[in-house]
Amino acid sequence: MPELPETETIARDLDGAVHGAAIVSTELFRPDVLRGIGAPEFKRRTGGVTFEHFWRRAKSIIGELNSGDRLVITPRFTGALLIEPASSRHLNHDTDYTALRFILSDGRSLRYRDVRRLGTVALMAPGAFDIWEGRLGPEPLDPDLTDERFSVLVRASGRAIKTILMDQRRMAGVGNIYANEALWHAGIRPTRRGRSVTRAESGQLLSVLRRILTESIALRGTSFRDYRDAFGGRGGYVARLQVYGREGEPCPRCSNVLRAHHKLEGRITVFCAACQK
């Protein structure tokens, strides 16, 4: 599932390549990806408008339109936003999993494809967007998220520390891959209760989390399975993963066998029982 580094990469790609492009028409093949708006209204409100800016919030890509609306795309597990030349105009949406496509004024297209169609597309007026964004927690790379603020955020909960990291209402952008990685780097067992994490441990956790996310952004994210950037390329951070996807292998730090379970949120948790306390 695209997390902070992956959606940040896509948003930066789109802002560089699609900024200022007008939407000539909107083709909607799978209306079930839409949230909070019907297909006729979505097509009406996106036709003839211009993309002014793309950015990321949490694990979503935000496209600001000159109409004032915000396009909010959350790719989830298999969604992808792809910039394509005019020569790619002919497609079979029944076999290539295209959910919608914006035809741009310069002949290119911006296509959203989603194999499992678990991702979502919303078009929000400013007020609705403010409500949506207000439900999200702070960003881990935001300088305003101080060590003290993060410590309070973590230590105020009795839930498992991995669950806290993945709760978008507490801190936005971190998902399963980077939660596993950060907790291994910090030497904290994923099932530890938040209230049991010391201030020193929470400070170390925030530090390594920021380093990992920054490194992954520089390498254009992690393509473990489905993720592709806006040009169809793969991310390079997979080569640096220490625990995610490596259950049964030796721990890179202490050589004990890495364990895995699905007890937390039904997602795979990979950890070292020997050196994560």
| Residue numbers annotated as active site | 2-3, 59, 267
Query: Which DSSP helix (H) or strand (E) runs through 261?
Result: strand 259-264
In a 10 Å sphere around its CB, with 0-12 CB exposed, 13-18 middle and 19+ buried, how is residue 62 labelled?
Answer: buried
What mean pLDDT is predicted for residues 188-211?
A: 98
Same structural domain, 113 and 210:
no
Q: Are residues 156 and 53 in the same domain?
A: no
What digits encode the pLDDT tens for the residues 218-249? 999 999 888 999 999 999 999 999 999 999 99
The stretch 57-73 carries a mean pLDDT of 98
Q: In the listed set 89, 105, 134, which residue is the last one of a domain according to the structure?
A: 134
Residue 276 counted as domain residue? no
We report the CATH number of the domain holding residue 31 as: 3.20.190.10
Same domain, 109 and 193: no
> Which range marks the domain in which residue 226 is found?
147-271
pLDDT at 224: 86
Same domain, 12 and 89: yes
Among 101, 134, 167, where does a domain finish? 134
Structure confidence at residue 90 as a pLDDT band (50, 70, 90): low
CB atoms within 10 A of CB 216: 26
Nearest to 194 by CA among 140, 147, 138, 153: 153
**Same structural domain, 171 and 93:** no
Mean pLDDT, residues 59-65:
98
Same domain, 129 and 153: no
Picking from 247, 224, 251, 246, the residue whose alpha carbon sits closest to that of residue 237 is 224
Contacts of 142 (CB under 8 A, 6+ apart): none
- What lies within 8 Å, CB to CB, of 4 at 6+ separation is 56, 58, 59, 139, 140, 141, 173, 174, 175, 178, 213, 217
The DSSP bridge pattern shows strands 34-35 and 120-124 to be parallel
What pTM value is reported for the model? 0.95
**How many DSSP H helices and E strands does the chain contain?**
8, 11
Q: How far apart are CA 162 and CA 183, in angstroms?
A: 8
**Segment 111-169, tens digit of pLDDT:** 999 999 999 999 999 999 999 999 999 999 999 999 999 999 999 999 999 999 999 99
Same domain, residue pair 97 and 190? no
102 shares its domain with 72: yes
Shared-domain flag, residues 180 and 239: yes
